[in-house]
A and B are shown apart, each in its own frame.
Chain A
Amino acid sequence: MIKCAICVEDNACSSELEHLAGKYIGFNHLEVEVFQDAELLCRRILNDKVHFDITFIDIEMVNKNGIRTTEMIRRNPAGDTNLTILVTSHTEPVMEAFDANPFHVLQKPISSVKFGEIFRAALDSTHGVTTTFDFKKHRVLYRIPIHDIDYFISASHYVQIAGPCQAVSMKAKLDEVEEHLMRINTWDFMRIHKSIIINLNHVKEFLPRDVLMEHGEYLSISESYLPAYRDRMADCITLK
């Protein structure tokens, strides 16, 4: 579960940040607390000792300056590990913002592509980069690098891992694989069929009802997974 705080006065921007974060990692893996007042955010972190993985703070707020808020949080031991992404409508950079040592600065209007890049980097920074998919087979532990996995496909009681290297299979259910991928904080995968989970980084073309993988296979998207696929497809296309 990823816990985020959003402290942005503009309601539309706040909702957009929440929506983009949810789309990126899945709404059921995201917990968001929204603040319209920087004082409340400070109290939540510094007095209640609540830890947020990622905090979005608006630089320009009426009651309090976002940069000062970030500095105040970072100076306190309760908030010094807080990873902050500053949000600004300024087109010119604010030199003061660098003093607050934010993880990044996101400009309004929010670009979903830029959001994806920054959010991904922030997740990697707070949770570490998961590099392998680990499973046991005949008492041997196998660790397959995530970037070597094109997709998972299930058949009877087995799941096959397809990639540029020789395909490997293991005894498991695809639901278990999907849950495991979420548990190890890997957000590169998406289920497109009852029996298929794809690695979005290895999709060559996102088609209306299929995906063309880098190695030439066409994989079909089933009816029940189409809405989620279409929702995420737009972001992936622009990102690629």
Chain B
Amino acid sequence: MKGEYVLLNIAVLDHDFKVSEMIEDLLTDRLGFNNIDVTYFQRGTELTSSVSQGDFYDLIFLEIQWEKENGIETGKDLRRNNLSRDTLLIFTTISMDRILDAFDAHPYYIMAKPVDQTNFMKITEQALRIIAEKNSVCQFHKGRTKIRCPLDSILWFETGAPHYIAIVTNCKTERIKGKLNDVEQMLAEMKAVNFVRVHSSYIINMDYIEKHNMQFIQLRNHPEIIQISEKYKEHARAVLSHYLSERIL
């Protein structure tokens, strides 16, 4: 979890496979980003479905218009439906028609096609630097792969079977090998002040609390009651009241 290289997830939605290949080549060969995982999509619905199932992308290249596909609408759909605020969107376009509407999807950049390689590298390098410097996405080993989760999508961490942790997000549950103490330390290093340990088996995201007192916590859209243990009671009380006090009527 700590001190590792960052693996970036990138999605490319472009009808021209050559452009997709060029994007990957430029990223790996010219910019030297070897730790990237590029997923290609041919339809906007495939990309929105992937995102709504909880797949996280650091950067998405989205073509604005071809055949019946409308990249601006796909971008807006993604923003409406669960796309992380940590994901940067770069539009590519051959037409300036209705281009101002693209701003509704809060893009990082809108790039004209054919893609100018120098400009592409400048913009992509800037975007990747922003992503790498962000302290809001965590990364875990899952078997031989790595998964990246934006902190604001995580509801809680829970110890399950021995040596395993469940990461419950607003879309799915991931199970990884690890210790909750290491997660707690990682969150402290990331200055993730919205997380609090309330039990030897639970670390919760306070932004998702629906109801709580000093014995239990219930999180939004989850019927499970999470107990605050005696050991963490004082700590939880202090953190909860400090974090939530300004928001309470």
Contact = CB atoms under 8 A, between A and B. Distances in A.
B249 A103 contact: no
B132 interface: no
Given A103-B106, A140-B213, A142-B211, A95 B247 contact: no
A136 B103 contact: no
In this complex, the member of A121, A135, A141, A142 whose beta carbon has the largest number of chain B beta carbons within 10 angstroms is: A141
Interface string B229-249: 000000000001000100111
Contacts of B247: 132, 134, 184
A176 interface: yes
B103 A104 contact: yes
A102 B104 CA distance: 12
A125 B211 contact: no
Contacts of B210: 142-143
A95 B249 contact: no
A93 interface: yes
Contacts of B134: none
B92 to A, nearest CB: 12
Interface in B165-197: none
A141 B109 contact: no
Interface residues of A, number: 32
A139 B213 CA distance: 6
A170 B212 contact: no
B51 interface: no
Contacts of A142: 210-211
B95 to A, nearest CB: 10
B110 interface: yes
Given A107-B100, A140-B213, A141-B209, A101 B109 contact: yes
Interface string A112-123: 000001100100
Contacts of B213: 139-141
B248 A136 contact: yes
Q: Chain B interface mostly helix, strand, loop or mixed? A: mixed
B195 to A, nearest CB: 16
B96 interface: yes
B96 A105 contact: no
A98 B109 contact: yes
Given A105-B103, A145-B220, A172 B249 contact: yes
A92 interface: yes
Interface string B92-117: 00001001100110101111100000
Interface in B102-138: 103-104, 106, 108-112
Interface of A: 92-93, 95, 98, 101-105, 107, 117-118, 121, 125, 131-136, 139-143, 145, 170, 172, 176-177, 180, 184
17 contacts: A95-B112, A98-B110, A102-B103, A103-B106, A121-B104, A121-B106, A132-B247, A135-B248, A136-B248, A140-B212, A141-B209, A141-B213, A142-B211, A143-B210, A143-B211, A145-B220, A184-B247
Given A141-B212, A142-B211, A143-B209, 9 more contacts: A95-B96, A103-B106, A117-B104, A121-B106, A134-B249, A140-B212, A140-B213, A142-B210, A184-B247
Question: Which 5 residue pairs of A and B lie closest in terms of their CB atoms, listed nearest first?
Answer: A104-B103, A135-B249, A180-B249, A93-B99, A140-B213
